[in-house]
Structure 1
Amino acid sequence: MMHTNSFDWFRLARTKGIGTKFLWDVYDFTSKESLSLSDLLIDDKINALSIPTKLRTKFASSLIDQDYEALSKAYERLEQNRVKILHVESSDFPKRLKRYGREYGIPPLLYARGHIPLANSQSISIVGSRNVGEEALLITSELAKGLAREGFNIVSGYAKGVDSTAHLGALEAEGTTTIVLSLGILNFEAKKDFKPLFSPYNTLVLSQFNPTDKWLARNAMARNKLVCALSDAVIVIASGQEIDNQGRMSGTFDAAKSAMAMNIPVFVLSPQCFAQPLVGNTDLIQLGCYEILPENAIQQILSKLERESIDTGKQLSRDVVQLELLPSA
């Protein structure tokens, strides 16, 4: 197997005892010293560099017992499944994550299939409950379609309910979507409704987890932070209260609070759109999220983003990019 920087990042990420914080520490050091991770894995360079003791000790204790042959086979399996590694030193790595990744526990390495440029496209995420009524799903679909037609890539978490409806709405409008998984990318399966809509140009699948990981509730919570970090705005369709009577935390509410902490605009569907107003939606609006109604939501979102682009001096570009084939699952 050809030795590459992507393999080195994969190798380090799969090393026992090494977590997200250490991976970011490594990047911070290599970036400061104008090096790559591969430089640190060359014995002569390690000995010559002024590597902080903490990093040097961790490298020595963690890498020495690696099963290099097993790691090589695992990496080859990714290549055979057309999975690409987006690591923080590569130009394809989402630029937003360099701002948010460390603080929110998002690793500097993602696994990707599909159209890679969507990782850095103008994107809006749509999030919400798995269990909502047909009216809320219709609103979700129409919002996703309208924003996709405006040139935005639609990001969501591929769960049933709001997530899947948002993805499907974007694809039905001949737009693009990013699917952010709460499991390993080698366990990704195209749902029945999605298969006819996948085309050579419209989807990116991302995972921050080890490629063979199964679904876990804690992964879903972590995934929600990545959904937000990839986006220029977040739309909440339906949220439960932050913590319910059984002590369970709402993933949607947590995602909205994470987006607010990231200074990403959060738009929340008005509670009056529901026969029984949702406590989570009401609470988020009281926390400072923007309340929207279906009839003027898209214009309100676009106006807010246009104002922010003027304030920051950045041009809001929603050109639909040229796309490539999404491999079949």
Structure 2
Amino acid sequence: MEEQQKNELKMWLVFYLCKGLGPKKLDLLKQHTELTHLLTFSEAQLASLGLSSDIIKQLLHPNWYYIDTLIDYLSQNAITAIYYSHPCYPSQLKEISAAPLILFCKGNIDLLCKSQIAVVGSRSATPNGIEIASEFASAMSHQGIVVTSGLAGGIDAAAHKGALAVSGETIAVVGTGVDVIYPKKNRLLFEQLLSSGLIVSELLPGTKAHASHFPRRNRIIAGLSLGVLVVEAEIKSGSLITARYAIEQNREVFAVPGSLFNPYSHGCHYLIKQGAKLTETLDDIFEELGLLVKNGLYNKVEVDNLEQVDPVLTQLGYEATSVDVLAERTQIPVEQLLTRLLDLELANQVERVLGGYIKLRSY
């Protein structure tokens, strides 16, 4: 990192760590002085700008040792800090209220400024919901759209996997530090995202999961995206919080209808009643956003060699089957079976659940 970049990052880390100093206040301060001057001004000069005594104290006495240590950690762990004035900071995100001052990123930061659509939904989604989310994500990827979600279980994971399965691009906005894998069951997906996508958080590296982090995370998911697609959600759920943020941020909201007997459809039906676009195909989304569909490219992606009977898929059903039972049924050595299951999971054909694996599609 060049010295000038490092000094600019240090300045923004001071602002980030200063409680009560957000982008709106900084924009106001820029009308009166250069932001770099805030770290050299005296107490009287800072007070003349209308800053509170608490903010003044923090600006006068930054913890430079901690900031230098943090910058070293970022460098050692391939974490990029995209601060508010950084050329890679998404202009779309600056439009929202309380935009994050810094985005900590691991992966391909070029994805930040590409066109994105968020796909969100229940952590306890049905196999049908998981398949729908996966297919929409794959279709979006074929159109060059980046699929953005939250790396949670259920719909979020299906959306990321659907994009990765067709070599698409996907962003995970997490409610932890970008170096913290949460939930643990998504370790494989986390690693895939690091090599083929991007993991983003406004939280400091090392930050553990906490309930209060996820609503904050949801506003970033909505803020990065042109629109939010909700696939299976309960009335009281984080997905509806994301949809609410999307509405507040003047983004489009799309909802997939479902069975009246499925409690995870109630949130989508509620959104549709409130004006969300009832969504059955990618055309519905692109029409609302004014995007053009590349003819014939977004149809359901067929899995290679579908005609060939896969013994693992043949022996898997929609109820969890353990690896031991599957090895006995298929007569495949466990080590080879685990490798095959990994391939199938990355192709979004099977899902690892409590008690083993389930098949996601009918073959």
TM range (shorter): 0.7 to 0.9
Contact 1:269–1:291, Cα closer than 8 Å, also in 2: yes
After superposition, the Cα gap between the structure-2 partners of 1:298 and 1:40, relative to the gap in structure 1 and judged at 3 Å, is: same
* Mapping for residues 89-100 of structure 1, pairs under 5 Å: 89-100=85-96
Question: 1:71 matched to which residue of 2?
Answer: 67
The one of 235, 246, 255 aligned to 2:229: 235
2:9 is aligned to 6
Counterpart contact for 2:38–2:59, Cα < 8 Å: no
Which 4+ runs in 1 deviate beyond 6 A?
46-50
1:184 match: secondary structure: coil
Choose 143-152 or 204-213, whichever is displaced more: 204-213
**Contact 2:232 2:264 (C-alpha < 8 Å) held by counterparts:** no
Cα distance change, pair 148–70 in 1 and its aligned pair in 2 (3 A): same
Say if 1:75 and 1:39 are closer, same or farther in 2 by CA, change over 3 A. Answer: same
Counterpart CA distance in 2 for 1:235 and 1:192 is 25
Corresponding residue number in structure 1 for 2:39: 41
Residues matched between the structures, number: 287
Q: 1:180 to 1:199 in 2, by over 3 A?
A: closer
User: How far, CA to CA, are the matches of 1:132 and 1:205 in structure 2?
Assistant: 23
Distance 1:213 1:49 in 2: 31
Mark the CA change 1:251 to 1:275 in structure 2 (over 3 Å): closer, same or farther.
closer
CA offsets per residue over residues 149-200 of structure 1, 9 Å max, x none? 1000000000011101101111111110011010112324794442674575
RMSD (Å), alpha carbons:
2.6
Q: 1:117 and 1:288, CA in 2 relative to 1: closer, same or farther beyond 3 A?
A: same
Query: Equivalent residue for 2:108?
Result: 115
TM-score by length of 2: 0.72
TM-score by length of 1: 0.79
Ranges in structure 2 where 5+ consecutive residues have no aligned partner: 293-363
Q: Distance in 1 between matches of 2:165 and 2:83?
A: 31
The answer on 1:266 being equivalent to 2:253 is yes
Q: Do residues 150 (structure 1) and 143 (structure 2) align? A: yes
Partner secondary structure for residue 91 of structure 2: coil
Cα distance in 2, alignment partners of residues 79 and 14 from structure 1: 19
Paired residues of 1:101 and 1:108 also in contact (CA < 8 A): no
Q: Indicate the SS of the match to 1:96.
A: helix
Q: 2:268 aligns with which of 273, 281, 285?
A: 281
Tell which has more relative contact order, 1 or 2 (C-alpha 8 A, sep 6+): 1
2:285 is aligned with 1:298:
no
Residue 50 of structure 1 and its aligned partner are, at CA, apart by: 9.0
Counterpart in 2 of 1:251? 238
Distance (Å, rounded) in 1 between the aligned partners of 2:277 and 2:227: 11
For structure 1, the residue ranges without an aligned partner over 5 or more in a row are: 243-249, 310-329
Q: Secondary structure at the match of 2:22?
A: helix
The residue type equivalent to 1:306 in the other structure is G
Q: 1:220 to 1:117 in 2, by over 3 A?
A: same
Deviations 1:202-256, CA, capped at 9 Å, x for gaps:
31111011222110111111111110110001100011113xxxxxxx1111111
Does the C-alpha gap of structure 1 residues 139 and 220 become closer, same or farther in structure 2, counting only changes over 3 Å?
same
1:51–1:150 distance in 2 versus 1, CA, 3 Å? farther
Of 107, 113, 125, which aligns to 1:132?
125
> SS state of the match for residue 179, structure 2?
helix
Largest Rg, 1 or 2: 2
Instruction: State the shift of 1:60 in Å.
Output: 2.7
Distance 1:176 1:273 in 2: 33
Q: CA deviation at 1:43?
A: 3.5
CA distance in 2, matches of 1:231, 1:69: 36
Is the contact between residue 101 and residue 107 of structure 1 (CA under 8 Å) also seen in structure 2? Answer: no
Partner-residue secondary structure (3-state), 1:124: strand
